[in-house]
Chain A
Amino acid sequence: MIEKSWLIPLLPFLGFLINGLGRSRISKKTAAVIGSASVLCSFILSVLVFFELQGSAETGVTVKLFEWIRAGSLQIPFSFYVDPLTCVWLLVITGIGFLIHVYSAGYMHADQGFGKFFSYLNLFVFFMLILVMGAGYAIMFIGWEGVGLCSYLLIGFWYKNDAYNDAAKKAFIMNRIGDLGFLLGIFLLIATFGSTDFTEIFPQAAGFQSGDGRLLAITLCLFIGAVGKSAQLPLYTWLPDAMAGPTPVSALIHAATMVTAGVYMVARSNILYALSPVAMTVVAITGLATAIFAALIALTQNDIKKVLAYSTVSQLGYMFLALGVGAFTGAVFHVMTHAFFKALLFLGAGSVIHALHDQQDMRRMGGLKKAMPVTFLTMLLATLAISGIPPFSGFFSKDEILAHAFSRDPLLWVLGFAGALLTAFYMFRMLFLTFWGDFRGTAKEKQGIHESPASMTVPLILLAVLSVVGGFLGIPEVFARQAHLLGGFLAPVFAASQEVLPAMHVPHSTEWILMGISVLGVLVSIGMAWSLYVKKKRVPAEDTVQRSGLVAWSYHKFYVDELYQALIVRPLDALSGFFYRVMDKRFIDGIVNGVGSTILAFSSTLRLLQTGRIGSYLFYMVAGIILIFLLNYLIF
């Protein structure tokens, strides 16, 4: 089956072609069936690949497709590489992708661009699969840019709205900045290893000294790419804006799959990072800083999707913290559990927005518990999971990350724990504002509140199940021996780097204490949210109200967008205007036209000598001859 794994990306691509080319002829129902079925088939194939890989002794299989580029000494084949790490992503992308396709059929049913939407979604799945299946960085880059394109198309899906187009453009260009880093990383890889293939690079790299300058440069460049794609500081501002896209897009692309591509890339390159301690530190610090920074912003946001977007940025920060402290398995584990509960949260939010006819402001919600029981219950489970309450999935993955952070440096743990407290607070704030209390919208909106159709609630329920039980794939050692199923499966991928990195050593007693503290802290945090938003029924102030102090900074997102506008966008505009109006028009064309007009002026003066009178010509002749004689006499 692995040999035929190229079918996995091919099927969504065919779906894209059919829905894309025939979108004016294909009915909505057919488009939805084609779109979803192609991803479902890919999921089934991925499951087959998973079982075959688990049963086989090999750690990874290369599937050669064709010779892509051969120029000079450089050869880049177009091939896929399937190993446990790829497999985890395959299952997440196609599995959750399928559920979100089904959900979209319900969510988008009234939209004019239904067929277009499904074709874009399928195209996204195709590129995402290329990204994780590529056997080298060059193929990965194709997928990397491809998902960026799809993200652009889907954020700006409702292209008549200018704000949405701005968001789409911003996402693409910010991603492009990261992509340039990635591209430079690829150039460095080619210069160092003469290849872009994983199977060529990693064995060679394993022989390098720890702290090698070339590896440091490569890892830092690749990390710039990851920062762009996974929305880390300082390139994160596109992700909250990307919420302009339809909600299923936010769930699939901007929560579960695309934004985790950076984590995939670093995890894939684990041996390179393991040998560059400085890069590891940079990754860990960036991750941690992003986790806390985004959580602080999330505390005061009032748009339900914005809260979730900042939460995603923050959770991605945790994943990078994990990578930075060498907990590669923990990072992958958190990618997986996060994909479950964050996709669920977005889809749940979508369900609420759908019921309220595109109302996204939490100040106009409230008391939806009764009217939307399925949405409420599933979102409650997801919120418990993300907050880290045992035994829900988020608890296990977050605990693993924090334990590793503690073993590296207790300060990292303290900061990570602080972030977890913020997470619990803003998530429950969102939940309480939405589902508790009284409804704060208009009477007309209240009339129309309804639970979503089955095509939307069934995916919610399935994701809720995964969010609850997903954590059991990675039960830590303190509970049971040999219990970390995911860790065992992924072990061969990280084997080489685990030899280089110091092993985690936290005594079991310490681990129990840390776990206890974090659970207790989270419960207190939830209690605070409860007393504020349920007991005291506090509702966030309107936009017009002046905020002060830290609240204002958080509410205005620390003014980062304004900063970028002033530091980059405006100077660039001024520079381009200067180049065109002054350099090009005045200076260069000034010289060119100046030469022309000088010659013209000169010749029009000279022309006057040609009078047509014999007398004057005779005079010129005589004067000329005298001049020649004079010169002759003077010089010789």
Chain B
Amino acid sequence: MSWISTIIFLPVVFLVIILLLPSRFREWYRYITLGTAILQAGIACIIYLRFDQAGSDGFQFLEKVPWIHLSLGNLGRLEIDYFLGVDGLSAPLLILSAVVMVAAAISSWEIKENMKGYFALFLLMDAAIMGVFCALDFFLFYVFYELMLLPLYFLIGMWGGPRREYAALKFFLYTLFGSVFMLLVIVGLYFSVTDPVSGAYTFNMLHMMDAANFVPGAVFSPEVVQTILGVPARLLGFAVIFIAFAIKVPVVPLHTWLPDAHVEAPTPISIILAGLLLKIGGYGILRICFGIFPDSALYFSWFIGMLGVISILYGALNALAMKDLKKLIAYSSVSHMGFVLLGFASFTTEGTSGALLQMVSHGILSTMLFFLVGVLYNRVHDRFIPNFRGLASHMPHYTAFVMVAFFASLGLPGFSAFIAEAFTLIGTFNSQSVNGLLPRWMAIAGSLGILLSAAYFLWTLQRMFFGTTRFRGGEAWSKQLIDLRPHEWAVLLPMALLTLMLGIFPSLFFDLSNSALANMVQELFETGKRHLDSLQYTNNLRF
């Protein structure tokens, strides 16, 4: 077994152990889960150190084992491989997942009911998330992708807040809506792409990314325009997969599952939702939508950039109106993930690198932010902003971390988010002169989001943390609201240092992904442009 399979299946092994352990050892479940997460983080370190940064444009740690190979008579052969690997795009996200999992495992200490079920589902989800980032076979990817959805539904629906059932169902239906149609496109792709060696149809994503492997005349072939219901098939295929991932990101107007799911989910699940699940959306858009349909990505780039700008501004404006702290952070997530879309749409190395860094940075920061909300909520079971005043003098250490997380999120230089957002905007800004895809005003509009984020974060600081101390719960709350406990320090301090480190030495991240993204962006743009020119879709979708 190589490192990647280990990092994916380690949780499964411990999951079995948890299931076998009788309930009187239930106190152990937490330690087992935490131990798993720490082991995974250790493996992630090894992957980071062994990763060949110069050759990050190729896939590394490759594993390929035939999984389902069937002869289907005159339909040819079915080829599904257990095919894993990471490159400069997925490696940072895999490492991020391992880090966020540790934080989520620690914050799972708050779970008190039905622990066997909780930790088993937690570990299953852990395995699936790691798998999504490493799978290179589309079928395998889909299996991991759906496998992740199931535990999440139960984790929200059973261990969540008062409206957990509504939130869980909304989350589930939203996501299912996206992924069911995605399955159709996967099948279509399968019948369009053949393995250049064996000649059989294949789910191999690397083959799908190479135009030479498409069967002439197949439905998604980039050679001639095929239409489905009068719409060019490749554009439709792109749009369907894009919507599936856009729901995950989430992109306005497909975002309304997120505030509900985040608010109702228990803290560790909020952390995973914001820290990792949203990143799967972004990852999927770049790796799969852009990777397989570069022509459609170019065709829709203006539109995608526009969705990014709308998400940035809409999320920020909504956050300004929030009175629930957790909801405020949920909407700020919508706003910050808008940058990811904008950066991808720019088709520049700067923009794409910025967008990827934004995913990593937001993964760290949203973990911190949701954890911080959890700290408050666990103490007094309230997170309504007007119910707190002057927390700064009551919980000084807690306030210090809140300020770090807020200022990092609002894009203060020295923290990771600044570099991420600045590079996204640089890429967007340069796009007009480099490839003419995005107009400059999108960069300007996007930068307004940075201004708005300062407004809602500072206003929250002022409302909850400054002023004279006064709580709605009075004396009782004052007693319950004690400053940070050791295990809370153990989550917050490393996260704060991590975002600071990435802000001061961003090359730690950029070196990992630079050559991969530079090559990828150039290649996508060139092949996309070539296909787009030869396909000659009717009038361009630009307004």
Report the minimal beta-carbon distance from B248 to chain A, rounded to whole angstroms. Answer: 16
Say whether B407 contacts A149, CB under 8 Å. yes
Q: Is A629 an interface residue (CB 8 A)?
A: no
B170 CB contacts on chain A under 8 angstroms: 592
A146 CB contacts on chain B under 8 angstroms: 412-414
Chain A residues 580-594 with CB under 8 Å of chain B are: 580-581, 583-584, 588-589, 592
Contact of A165 with B317 at beta-carbon distance under 8 Å, contacts A71-B510, A592-B170, A592-B256 already known: no
Contact with A along B455-479 (1 / 0, CB 8 A): 1001100100111100000000000
Contact with B along A110-125 (1 / 0, CB 8 A): 0000000000000000
Chain A interface: which of B60-68, B91-99, B100-108, B426-434? B426-434
Which listed residue, B253, B393, B450, B454, touches A160 by the CB 8 Å rule?
A: B393
Report the minimal beta-carbon distance from A568 to chain B, rounded to whole angstroms. Answer: 11
Say whether B317 contacts A579, CB under 8 Å. yes
Contact of A177 with B451 at beta-carbon distance under 8 Å, contacts A146-B413, A580-B322 already known: yes
B455 CB contacts on chain A under 8 angstroms: 173, 572
B443 CB contacts on chain A under 8 angstroms: 184, 187
Report the minimal beta-carbon distance from B280 to chain A, rounded to whole angstroms. Answer: 21
**Partner-B contacts on A (CB < 8 A):** 66-74, 141-142, 145-146, 149, 152, 156, 159-162, 165-166, 169, 172-173, 176-177, 180, 183-184, 187-188, 190-191, 572-573, 575-577, 579-581, 583-584, 588-589, 592, 596
Interface residues on B, range: 35 or more
Say whether A73 contacts B349, CB under 8 Å. yes
Say whether B430 contacts A191, CB under 8 Å. yes
10 closest Cβ pairs, A-B complex: A72-B349, A576-B320, A580-B321, A142-B413, A576-B321, A187-B429, A159-B466, A576-B317, A71-B353, A165-B466
A577 to B518, CA, bound (A): 41
Contact of A173 with B454 at beta-carbon distance under 8 Å, contacts A142-B414, A160-B466 already known: yes
A177 CB contacts on chain B under 8 angstroms: 451
A70 CB contacts on chain B under 8 angstroms: 507, 510-511, 514
Q: Is B506 an interface residue (CB 8 A)?
A: yes
Say whether B412 contacts A149, CB under 8 Å. yes
Contact of A145 with B510 at beta-carbon distance under 8 Å, contacts A190-B430, A576-B320 already known: no
A577 to B317, CA, bound (A): 8
A-B contact pairs, 9 of them (CB 8 A): A68-B505, A72-B514, A73-B349, A160-B390, A173-B455, A173-B458, A188-B429, A191-B430, A580-B322
Chain A interface: which of B145-153, B213-221, B417-425, B490-498? B417-425
B57 CB contacts on chain A under 8 angstroms: none
Q: Is B448 an interface residue (CB 8 A)?
A: yes
Main secondary structure of the interface of B (DSSP, over half): helix
Report the minimal beta-carbon distance from B537 to chain A, rounded to whole angstroms. Answer: 29
A172 to B318, CA, bound (A): 21
Say whether A156 contacts B353, CB under 8 Å. no
A187 CB contacts on chain B under 8 angstroms: 425-426, 429-430, 443
B314 CB contacts on chain A under 8 angstroms: 579, 583
A68 to B427, CA, bound (A): 18
Report the minimal beta-carbon distance from A81 to chain B, rounded to whole angstroms. Answer: 18
Report the minimal beta-carbon distance from A48 to chain B, rounded to whole angstroms. Answer: 27
Report the minimal beta-carbon distance from B131 to chain A, rounded to whole angstroms. Answer: 29
B256 CB contacts on chain A under 8 angstroms: 584, 588-589, 592
Q: Is B348 an interface residue (CB 8 A)?
A: yes
B349 CB contacts on chain A under 8 angstroms: 71-73
Contact with A along B286-323 (1 / 0, CB 8 A): 00000000000000000000000000001001111110
B465 CB contacts on chain A under 8 angstroms: 159
Q: Is B444 an interface residue (CB 8 A)?
A: yes
Say whether A191 contacts B317, CB under 8 Å. no
Give the nearest-CB partner of B522 in chain A.
Answer: A72
A165 CB contacts on chain B under 8 angstroms: 462, 466-467
B392 CB contacts on chain A under 8 angstroms: 159
B255 CB contacts on chain A under 8 angstroms: 588
A165 to B459, CA, bound (A): 9
Report the minimal beta-carbon distance from A6 to chain B, rounded to whole angstroms. Answer: 14
Contact of A172 with B458 at beta-carbon distance under 8 Å, contacts A573-B320, A577-B321 already known: yes
**Partner-A contacts on B (CB < 8 A):** 170, 173-174, 253, 255-256, 314, 317-322, 348-350, 353-354, 390, 392-393, 407, 412-414, 418-419, 422-423, 425-427, 429-430, 433, 443-444, 447-448, 450-451, 454-455, 458-459, 462, 465-468, 505-507, 510-511, 514, 518
A83 to B422, CA, bound (A): 28
Contact of A173 with B451 at beta-carbon distance under 8 Å, contacts A69-B419, A159-B467, A160-B468 already known: yes
Say whether A166 contacts B507, CB under 8 Å. no
Give the nearest-CB partner of B422 in chain A.
Answer: A183
Contact of A584 with B318 at beta-carbon distance under 8 Å, contacts A156-B466, A160-B467, A173-B451 already known: yes
Report the minimal beta-carbon distance from A603 to chain B, rounded to whole angstroms. Answer: 14
Say whether B348 contacts A180, CB under 8 Å. no
Q: Which of A166, A183, A581 has the most CB of B within 10 A?
A: A183
Give the nearest-CB partner of B459 in chain A.
Answer: A169
Say whether B414 contacts A180, CB under 8 Å. no
Say whether A596 contacts B458, CB under 8 Å. no
A193 to B429, CA, bound (A): 14
A142 to B514, CA, bound (A): 23
Q: Which of A66, A72, A173, A183 has the most CB of B within 10 A?
A: A72
Which listed residue, A169, A176, A183, A575, touches B317 by the CB 8 Å rule?
A: A575
Which listed residue, B350, B423, B447, B462, touches A166 by the CB 8 Å rule?
A: B462
Which listed residue, B348, B353, B390, B458, touches A169 by the CB 8 Å rule?
A: B458
A188 to B353, CA, bound (A): 19
A183 to B413, CA, bound (A): 12
Contact of A180 with B450 at beta-carbon distance under 8 Å, contacts A160-B393, A169-B459, A592-B256 already known: yes
A69 to B407, CA, bound (A): 21
A141 CB contacts on chain B under 8 angstroms: 413
A575 CB contacts on chain B under 8 angstroms: 317
Say whether B412 contacts A145, CB under 8 Å. yes
A162 to B414, CA, bound (A): 28
A180 to B455, CA, bound (A): 14
A484 to B322, CA, bound (A): 59
A576 to B314, CA, bound (A): 8
Say whether B467 contacts A71, CB under 8 Å. no
A177 to B349, CA, bound (A): 27
Report the minimal beta-carbon distance from B425 to chain A, rounded to whole angstroms. Answer: 7
Report the minimal beta-carbon distance from A221 to chain B, rounded to whole angstroms. Answer: 10
A156 CB contacts on chain B under 8 angstroms: 466
Report the minimal beta-carbon distance from B107 to chain A, rounded to whole angstroms. Answer: 26
Give the nearest-CB partner of A69 in chain B.
Answer: B506
